Amino acid sequence: MNFISGKPEDSISLPKLRNTLIRLEDTIIFALIERAQFSVNDNVYKPGMYKYEQSNGFDGTFLEYFLSEVEKVHAKVRRYQSPDEYPFTGPLPEPIIPPLNYPQILKHNNINVNDKIMKFYLEDIVPSLCMPGDDQNYGSTATRDVECLQALSQRIHYGKFVAEAKFLDPKLQPKYIEYIKNRDVGAIEELLTDKLVEEALLKRLRRKALIYGQDIEENLNNLQTTKQLKINVDIVVELYEKCVIPLTKEVEIEYLLARLDE
Does residue 40 contact residue 126 with C-beta atoms inside 8 Å? yes
pLDDT tens for the chain, residues 1 to 262: 444 444 545 568 888 899 999 999 999 999 999 999 999 999 999 998 887 766 666 788 999 999 999 999 999 999 999 999 999 999 999 999 998 888 889 999 999 999 999 999 999 999 999 999 999 999 999 999 999 999 999 999 999 999 999 999 999 999 999 999 999 999 999 999 999 999 999 999 999 999 998 887 666 565 555 567 889 999 999 999 999 999 999 999 999 999 998 6
By three-state DSSP, how is residue 39 classified?
strand
Topology of 11-257 in CATH?
Chorismate Mutase, subunit A (1.10.590)
- Full DSSP string of 181-243: HTT-HHHHHHHH--HHHHHHHHHHHHHHHHHHTS-EEE-SS-EEE-SS-SS-HHHHHHHIIII
Selection from 212, 189, 202, 36 nearest residue 125 by Cα: 36
Neighbour count for residue 250 (Cβ, 10 Å): 16
